[in-house]
Each structure stands twice: as structure tokens, then as C-alpha cells.
Structure 1
Amino acid sequence: MTSVFKPLKSVNTLVLAGILAAASLAAVAQTAVPAAPAAAGAAAHAGHHGPYRHDPARMQAHIAKRQAELKAKLAITPAQEGAWSAYTTALQPQARSAEPRPDRAAMRAELEKLTTPQRIDRMNALRTQRMTEMNAAMIKRGDATKSFYAALSADQQKVFDAQPMGRGGKGHGGHQGHHKG
């Protein structure tokens, strides 16, 4: 009886060897060489910030489409046009400040001249400045959303409340979260 199972045992061995080989190939494929730094950086930005991050025209077209859809859902009346215009204007992405953004190489060179505690203080100051600007923009959008909401009828408010969070939706005053699209 043991002779009957010998061929079966060698088939099992082959199947097991095939499974191990496939698993090995899968492991090797996952440790592939990373993409070029520029391509990897662009891919990371596209995934983290959405597909419109570096294409202002596409972003504007997307925003206009979403706003048109919301306006149609809400059935904005002529009397509400002023509130709608103020709302959509406040939701527009902020233009970059007139001050040019510091060059990364220049910033790196500046930081290299500092001691570690000075670098920490400089980075904290830059982060505080950026967070202050972001908070001010979020408050502005939130206030605009509240003003617009007050101009809506009860039925329109229900429609607005049912919108998903994100641009044109409730909660964030039009600010889109990182993982929404």
C-alpha cells in the first residue's frame, strides 16, 4: 500500500515546490528597485494630494463641475444668487502669496548654517506661520459656508446637509480632506 502513495507523494512535493517558487517570486517582485526620485515624488504627491495638485486648469474645471452640480441640486433661486456667488468665491483655492516661496536649496543652505536648536526653532516658526495661514483660510471658508447655509430654505438645507464632506459639502466649509477625492 505504501507503493501506491509514492507517486502521490512526489506530486505533492512538486506542488509544494511550485507554491514556494511562486511565493518567492512574489516576495522578489515586492522588493523591486524604487522608481526614479522625481517620478516617485510626483507619484507620492499625486496620491496624497489628489490628481489636481499641479494642474490648476484641471482643478478649476473639477471645482466648477462640482459647484454646478451642487447648485443644481440645491435649485438656487435668483434671490439666492448673491449668497451663492459669495460662497463659491470664498471656496476658491487661495492664491499663493505675493512673496515667492523660498527655494528649497536656499532653505536647506540656510538651515545648514544653524545649530540644531536653531534649526528646530526655525522649523517651528515656519510651521506656525503656515498653520496660521491655513487656519485663517479654513475659518474664512467656514464662515462663508455658514452665511450661505443661512440663506437656504429648510429643504435646501437638508439637501446641503446630505452632501458628502469635501468641496461643496458640509462640515469643512469646502475644505477637502486628504483622503477624499
Structure 2
Amino acid sequence: MSLLQRSAIVTAMLASLSVSSFAQTPAAPAAAPTTQSAPAPAKKAHGPEAREAHMAKRMQTLKASLKLNASQEAGWTSYMAAVKPQRPAPGDRPERPDFAKMTTPERIDAMAAMHAKHQAAMDQRNQATKAFYASLTPEQQKTFDAETLKMHERRGRGPDGKGPHGQRHQGPNPKQTVPPMDSK
């Protein structure tokens, strides 16, 4: 049997299988939900509002763990104001059509300006954190260290230190010059 004949036979078999799948009877309509059925699981909220709510909850937990005294409340308030996420104002970053109209050097300059703005905001948050940290007692500093470390460890990782796909997130191996080949 030639290759052409085998290909024709395989194609005919696949075509007959696909036709038979279309010829199946449609499924019966789903029954109306009963009052006994379990409620649908709540979907995780995403977006800036959800992130802000999550951060507010984490910060309330941190504040409760720190057991701040009255003299530290002002420092906490200024710290919270400094680390609160700032939403970009309309016009802060170029829209896609405007960005597409720019030349490459203009895009590079726009990205550099955005980077400088983000760096300045990060420096401000870092200084506020250091100032607040300095106002804490040594016991509170240990609590702050432990709680904020937990916040950073949770980002994108499971309880076993692995990411969502099961791999460990470790830095690149400085001795490795060529990426490993998959043995699969």
C-alpha cells in the first residue's frame, strides 16, 4: 500500500469520526436548580479594588500584631499614606495608539520617564517604611519583620514555597551557562 493510499484511508476514517460526533443527539436541557443544590463558589475578585481591599486587610492585621501605643499612631498614619497604592491618573501613561505613533527614541524616553517616576515613588515608600520602623520597639520590629516577610513570601507561591505550576522559584544558577535540555 502506498503512502498516498494510507493517507487517504486515515483521512477518510478521521472524517467519518468527526461526522458521527456531529450526528449525536443533543443533550437534554439541564434541570432547574433545586433549593437543595449547593451555592456556586464565589469567584475571586481581581482588579485594583480587590487588591486595595486585600492590602487594607493585611495592614489591619499588621497593625493589630504590632500593638502600637498612642505615640506611634501618627507614624502609622503617615506610613499608611506613603505606602498606599497610587492609581495612575488619566494621561499619566500614553495610550496604546499614542504609544504606537511614537518613534523608538520617543518610546524609550517615555518609558525612562515612567521608570523614573516609579523609582521616585518607591524611594518615598522605602523612606516612610524606614522612618516608621525606627519608631518601633525592638519587639515590634521583630513582629514587623516577620509579618512583612510573610507578605512577600505569599506573593505567587504556595505554602510549600512553590509557584502555581509546582516549580520552586530560585534565582538563576550563576554556574550554568546553557539552559538545561528537557529530557522528555
TM-score bracket for this pair, using the shorter chain length: 0.5 to 0.7
Q: What residue in structure 2 maps to residue 135 of structure 1?
A: 119
Of all paired residues, the percent bearing the same amino acid is 34
Q: What residue in structure 2 maps to residue 66 of structure 1?
A: 58
**Amino acid of the residue matched to residue 125 of structure 1?**
D
Q: How many residues align?
A: 115
**Amino acid of the residue matched to residue 63 of structure 2?**
K
Q: Which runs of 5+ in 2 are unaligned?
A: 1-43, 159-184
Q: What residue in structure 1 maps to residue 146 of structure 2?
A: 162
Q: What residue in structure 2 maps to residue 40 of structure 1?
A: none
- Whether 1:82 aligns to 2:74 is yes
In structure 2, do the counterparts of structure 1 residues 166 and 126 end up closer, same or farther at CA, with 3 Å as the change threshold?
farther
Cα separation, 2, equivalents of 1:177 and 1:141 = 20
**Which of 99, 108, 112 is the matching residue for 1:107?**
99
What's the CA shift string for 1:80-136, capped at 9, x where partnerless? 11000110110111231353532212321x13xx4xxxx1x1222122111101110
**Amino acid of the residue matched to residue 119 of structure 2?**
N
SS of the residue aligned with 1:139? helix
Higher helix content, 1 or 2: 1
RMSD of aligned Cα (Å): 2.8
What's the CA shift string for 1:8-53, capped at 9, x where partnerless? xxxxxxxxxxxxxxxxxxxxxxxxxxxxxxxxxxxxxxxxxxx87x
Cα separation, 2, equivalents of 1:136 and 1:85 = 20
CA contact under 8 A between 1:87 and 1:144: conserved in structure 2? yes
TM-score normalized by the length of structure 2:
0.54
**Amino acid of the residue matched to residue 101 of structure 1?**
R
**Amino acid of the residue matched to residue 135 of structure 2?**
A
**Amino acid of the residue matched to residue 156 of structure 1?**
Q
- Whether 1:150 aligns to 2:142 is no
CA contact under 8 A between 1:166 and 1:180: conserved in structure 2? no
Cα separation, 2, equivalents of 1:80 and 1:125 = 42
Highest RCO, 1 vs 2 (Cα 8 Å, sep ≥ 6):
1
Q: Which runs of 5+ in 1 are unaligned?
A: 1-50, 170-175
TM-score normalized by the length of structure 1:
0.55
Cα separation, 2, equivalents of 1:72 and 1:140 = 24
